[in-house]
Amino acid sequence: MTTRESEQDLEARLAAERLGVPFLVYRDDADQQHIVGLEPGRRSVTLGRREEADVSLPWDPEVSRLHAELSFRAGEWTICDDGWSQNGTWVNELRLTGRRRLSDGDVIRIGRTTLDFYRPGMIGIGPTLVPGELSATPRFSEQQQRILHALCRPLFGDGEGVNPATDEQIEAATGIAAAAVAVELDHLIRALGLEDLPEADRRAEVALLAMRSGLVEADEGG
């Protein structure tokens, strides 16, 4: 969020986290915080400017009447736009195409409004990659896989490079903005339980785990 949280706002969000169910957090045109719980049994949540939307944002002129929908599928919350909106739906500053599984900490932007998605008690985007587990299929988004491939590319070179690609190099290779790359790599680091490592070592460890697991192979990296 761009607005500094008040003590009351923070307490409300921490209380929502203690409930242990996913939730959305956003601010209205009066800068008031709203928390929308995604309780068990709830299958979908519509976002839009209409009063009938589950999350109604009538103050935002860039939000379509029916803009996007969150759906609960196979134990995961997903988001899709399905062509309903004029201005598009963005997740971590990448325009949404099709459907995307939401991970803890994802930032959804529709119009001028941002909504933060939280899933307490869940470790981000997928299972830890175990060396040698080539049959495992981590549930990474297409964008995250592209970033992983670009991250590992220097490690497959003929030289003696031992450092994975920088955010700027990944942007040049994939067309994904460096700011979005940084957000996605932060999600990967948290998902893989690497946040306690020194900051300088985290991205290298992500790259090594991706390579050792078989998620990224030499022909893809180079």
Q: What is the pLDDT of residues 179-209, one digit of tens each?
A: 888 888 888 887 777 777 787 788 888 888 8
Q: What is the pLDDT of residues 133-175, one digit of tens each?
A: 333 334 567 788 889 899 988 887 544 446 889 999 999 999 9
pLDDT at 1: 39
Q: What is the pLDDT of residues 77-124, one digit of tens each?
A: 999 987 778 888 998 888 887 788 888 888 999 999 999 999 886 544
**Residue that wins the pLDDT comparison between 153 and 220:** 153
pLDDT at 173: 92
DSSP the chain: --SPPPHHHHHHHHHHHHHTS-EEEEE-TT--EEEEE--TT--EEEEESSTTSSEE-TT-TTS-SS-EEEEEETTEEEEE-TT--SS-EEETTEE--SEEE--TT-EEEETTEEEEEE-TT--TTSPPPPTT-TT------HHHHHHHHHHHGGGGSSS---SPPPHHHHHHHH---HHHHHHHHHHHHHHTT-TTS-HHHHHHHHHHHHHHHTSS-HHHH-
pLDDT bin (cut points 50, 70, 90) of residue 61 is very high
